[in-house]
């Protein structure tokens, strides 16, 4: 399958992008692997005719919004992020009516429709920097309450209004599970994604995006880590640090949607070009503005 994928990729001038939560064998054949921010930048710069995005729908959608003339394919169009939908209908309008200087800051893990109603997008690796750079005092942060609260702590000068959405995978990690790992491995450093609950972040030595966690582990002198994010990161962590040990809360955090990006699905979509991401042109134009603003402010 890997050879066939390689041949088709070359013949069709296709590029494969994979998130760190995609299955290991897909990360292995991908041209670019990274966190949400890196992949959005790569998608924007790509010279390929076809982008195969091994992630979840908001990622494929963002790639299409940034590249309307390219064919964006996903190995499985069912792969979705439940959090991307977690904003109540009318909540944004209600908040705009309440505060006249409001900025709606939208985590990239959101539908294109939510992006259309937002002022700027952020990812976990640039949210603090972007919120700090905004002139607005009042910020409505959607959809993730956990990333929103983490940003609010780093930017106390702003009034950050939280929305009650969350990632079910990260929110399921408990402080008790982390403590159980810490009891077994007392010297381990706790690395967490900001989508985790406050009680987990309080036990953490380092908080960052998937790429930041991977880079921290590589540069650290420590040898043992408790990793509080989806276990797909283990592929990169182990390949870069074969002599270090990585432990996960039990049960292992696993995003079933990300795991739909199998090697067989990648091969099939490259052969048939049948799972194409489409975005209504009016929606695309509106959703492009907050995405471009993010790319600009994060520079």
Nearer to ligand SF4, 107 or 225 (CB): 107
Which of the residues 145 through 174 are near ligand SF4 (CB under 6 A)?
167-170
- Which one of 57, 126, 210, 261 is in contact with ligand 13P (CB under 6 A)? 210
Which of the residues 10 through 39 are near ligand 13P (CB under 6 A)?
35-37
Which of the residues 73 through 112 are near ligand 13P (CB under 6 A)?
81, 109
Which of the residues 92 through 131 are near ligand SF4 (CB under 6 A)?
109
What, of ligand 13P, ligand SF4, none, does residue 35 touch, CB below 5 to 8 Å by kind?
Answer: ligand 13P
> Does residue 209 touch ligand 13P according to CB under 6 A?
yes
Nearer to ligand SF4, 83 or 226 (CB): 83
DSSP string over the chain: -HHHHHHHHHHHTEEEEEETTS-HHHHHH-SEEE-HHHHHHHHHH---SEEEEES-HHHHHHHHHH-TTSEEE-S-TT---GGGG-S-TTHHHHHHHH-TT-EEEEESSS-HHHHHT-SEEE-TTTHHHHHHH-S-SEEEEESBHHHHHHHHHH-TTSEEEE-SB--HHHHT--HHHHHHHHHH-TTPEEEE-TTS-HHHHTT-SEE--HHHHHHHHHH-S-SEEEEES-GGGHHHHHHH-TTSEEE--SSPP--TTGGG--HHHHHHHHHH---B----HHHHHHHHHHHHHHHHHT-
Question: Of the listed pieces 120-128, 135-143, 237-245, 263-271, which binds ligand 13P according to CB under 6 A?
Answer: 120-128
Report the chain's C-alpha Rg in angstroms. 19
Strand partners, 206: 191
- Which one of 30, 81, 91, 279 is in contact with ligand SF4 (CB under 6 A)? 81
Nearer to ligand 13P, 8 or 163 (CB): 163
Distance set, CA 100 to CA 136, 197, 199 (Å): 10, 30, 33
Nearer to ligand 13P, 170 or 275 (CB): 170
What, of ligand SF4, ligand 13P, none, does residue 82 touch, CB below 5 to 8 Å by kind?
Answer: ligand SF4
What, of ligand 13P, ligand SF4, none, does residue 150 touch, CB below 5 to 8 Å by kind?
Answer: none
> Does residue 177 touch ligand SF4 according to CB under 6 A?
no
Nearer to ligand SF4, 142 or 255 (CB): 255
Nearer to ligand 13P, 8 or 72 (CB): 72
Nearer to ligand 13P, 5 or 126 (CB): 126
Tokens of 270: 């490259």
Binding site for ligand SF4 (CB under 6 A): 21, 56, 81-83, 109, 167-170, 195, 230, 255, 257-258
Binding site for ligand 13P (CB under 6 A): 35-37, 81, 109, 123-125, 167, 193, 195, 209-210
């Amino acid at each position: 399958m890997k050879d066939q994928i390689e041949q088709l990729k070359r013949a069709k001038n296709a590029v494969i992008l994979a998130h760190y939560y995609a299955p290991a064998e897909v990360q292995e054949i991908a041209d670019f692997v990274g966190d949400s921010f890196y992949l959005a930048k790569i998608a924007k710069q790509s010279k390929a005719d076809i982008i195969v995005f091994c992630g979840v729908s908001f990622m494929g959608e963002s790639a299409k919004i940034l590249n309307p003339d390219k064919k964006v394919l996903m190995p499985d169009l069912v792969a979705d992020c439940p959090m991307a939908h977690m904003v109540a209908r009318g909540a944004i309008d209600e908040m705009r009516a309440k505060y006249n200087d409001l900025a709606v800051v939208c985590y990239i893990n959101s539908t294109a429709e939510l992006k259309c109603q937002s002022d700027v997008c952020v990812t976990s690796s640039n949210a603090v920097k972007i919120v700090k750079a905004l002139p607005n005092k009042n910020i409505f942060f959607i959809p993730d309450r956990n990333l929103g609260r983490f940003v609010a702590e780093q930017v106390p000068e702003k009034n950050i209004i939280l929305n009650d959405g969350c990632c079910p995978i990260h929110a399921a990690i408990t402080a008790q599970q982390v403590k159980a790992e810490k009891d077994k491995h007392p010297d381990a450093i706790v690395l967490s994604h900001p989508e985790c609950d406050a009680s987990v972040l309080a036990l953490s030595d380092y908080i960052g995006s998937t790429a930041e966690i991977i880079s921290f582990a590589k540069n650290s002198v420590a040898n043992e880590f408790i990793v509080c994010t989806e276990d797909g990161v283990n592929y990169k962590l182990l390949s870069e640090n074969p002599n270090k040990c990585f432990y996960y809360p039990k049960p292992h955090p696993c995003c079933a949607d990300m795991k739909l990006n199998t090697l067989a699905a990648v091969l099939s979509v490259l052969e048939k070009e049948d799972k194409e991401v489409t975005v209504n042109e009016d929606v695309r134009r509106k959703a492009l503005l907050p995405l471009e603003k993010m790319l600009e402010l994060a520079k």
